[in-house]
């Protein structure tokens, strides 16, 4: 078979913030190679060149954090705590807010779930990512109310207000909501939801995993109580995340992990056990040797985004979103998934289905024939995708089956490191696949669609 034509980068092609991997070449099943188009930023964004350079410059000076007497330990401790301050400034934290380092958004929300006062009522929309949907029921003394997916931002606020007003007993309550959907990319009305929560005596945590890489976030302005996000979605893939916000529930809770660093003093108890005095600062929930490189990488990414100017980044991303949406709208049989409608503001995350195609087959063809990396499936947001697709077709179809469409979708996502050519190639590839079909044969193997 002849190689499928792929557009070459133009002289005007650029990305505002250089990332690693934009020059990686990958083979095509049709023959030859092409520069890989990474369009799965919503899962893990590539590392910023700036982040990589900063980490490499620090690596020779890496040392243990806190309590070390040596020069490198003191340098690393300063770097670690300065990273915390940089992130707090990036998030617009208030005086008294804490920045706790975790492993990821999932870890951050599980930490907060562990810190809830007994008897807390949690309210979460069914449209959340599993990281925000699942941690709360692990607490037997916490009650969870799942709210229906709204069809417009105003309805989201109305649904929440009714649920909070009707709650009994009237005690501690927490609302968990996404800042931007990992399925549709749509921005949620966080400021309005925060006002509704506070008006009814509840607190709110924002899953900002898909928000902070694309838009400025000011915790003071939003008024939210906590915000959680992951470094690996913020161009800093070194295994760290953040939970930032109010200290009181965290200070009053048992340490998330028991161990060194979280304890202020440990003594032998009279009954033969040990008595522990725990820290009441961020150290309380950061037991063990901290991930200083991960924390520094997040701080480096925050600084790079802030210095680049979010206004510039947001405007260019709007242009990329418009290019993708306009390109997909020209292809018959393509349906972009949305809760809030076509005019809803969104970040660079879009999911779609194609009539007559199994989504895994479509994604495999984009990769094997065009060198484009997207994601297919339910995106760890199963209830939302099932709602958007109407719940039909629960049984996954075989790769390439004529009846084709199983209950999953294709997701394309991009950001500050995406060259224009990657988006142009994607739009062209979708049109070619729908018009002419795949140029290669595929089979189902291990639950995945792969080229034969």
Q: 380 catalytic, yes or no? A: yes
**Torsion angle of alpha carbons 420, 425, 430, 436, nearest 10°?**
160
Contact by Cβ (8 Å): 421, 7? yes
| Catalytically annotated residue among 93, 302, 380, 399 | 380
Pairwise CA distance, residues 303 & 258, whole Å? 32
Q: How far is CA 150 from CA 110, 188, 443, in A?
A: 25, 10, 38
Cβ neighbour number for residue 229 with a 10 Å cutoff: 28
Q: At what angle do helices 420-436 and 310-329 cross, to 10 degrees?
A: 10
Catalytic residue list:
380
């Amino acid at each position: 078979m002849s190689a499928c034509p792929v557009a070459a980068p133009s002289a005007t092609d650029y990305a505002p913030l250089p990332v690693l991997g934009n020059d990686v070449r990958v083979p095509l099943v049709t023959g030859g190679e092409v520069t890989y188009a990474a369009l799965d930023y919503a899962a893990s964004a590539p590392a910023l060149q700036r982040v990589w350079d900063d980490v490499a410059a620090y690596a020779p000076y890496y040392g243990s954090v806190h309590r070390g007497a040596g020069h490198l330990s003191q340098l690393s401790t300063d770097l670690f705590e300065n990273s915390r301050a940089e992130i707090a400034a990036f998030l617009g934290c208030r005086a008294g807010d804490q920045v706790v380092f975790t492993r990821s958004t999932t870890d951050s929300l599980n930490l907060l779930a562990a810190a809830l006062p007994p008897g807390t009522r949690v309210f979460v929309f069914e449209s959340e990512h599993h990281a925000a949907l699942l941690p709360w029921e692990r607490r037997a003394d916490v009650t969870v109310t799942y709210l229906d997916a709204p069809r417009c931002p105003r309805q989201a606020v109305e649904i929440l207000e009714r649920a909070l007003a009707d709650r009994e007993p009237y005690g501690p309550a927490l609302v968990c909501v996404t800042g931007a959907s990992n399925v549709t990319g749509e921005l949620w009305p966080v400021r309005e939801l925060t006002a509704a929560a506070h008006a009814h005596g509840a607190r709110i945590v924002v899953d900002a995993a898909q928000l902070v890489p694309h838009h400025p976030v000011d915790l003071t302005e939003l008024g939210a109580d906590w915000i959680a996000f992951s470094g690996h979605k913020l161009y800093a893939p070194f295994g760290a995340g953040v939970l930032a916000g109010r200290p009181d529930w965290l200070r009053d809770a048992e340490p998330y992990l028991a161990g060194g660093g979280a304890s202020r003093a440990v003594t032998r108890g009279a009954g033969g056990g040990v008595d522990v005095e725990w820290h009441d600062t961020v150290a309380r929930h950061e037991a063990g040797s901290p991930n200083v490189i991960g924390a520094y990488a997040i701080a480096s990414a925050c600084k790079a985004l802030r210095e680049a100017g979010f206004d510039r980044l947001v405007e260019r991303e709007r242009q990329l979103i418009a290019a993708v949406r306009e390109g997909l709208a020209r292809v018959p049989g393509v349906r972009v998934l949305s809760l809030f409608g076509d005019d809803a503001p969104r970040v660079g995350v879009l999911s779609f289905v194609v009539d007559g195609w199994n989504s895994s087959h479509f994604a495999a063809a984009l990769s094997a024939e065009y060198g484009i990396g997207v994601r297919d499936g339910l995106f760890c947001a199963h209830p939302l995708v099932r709602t958007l697709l109407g719940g039909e077709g629960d049984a996954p179809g075989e790769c390439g089956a004529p009846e084709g469409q199983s209950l999953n979708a294709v997701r394309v996502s991009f950001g500050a490191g995406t060259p224009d050519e990657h988006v142009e190639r994607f739009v062209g590839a979708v049109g070619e696949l729908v018009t002419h079909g795949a140029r290669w044969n595929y089979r189902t193997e291990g639950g995945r669609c792969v080229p034969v």
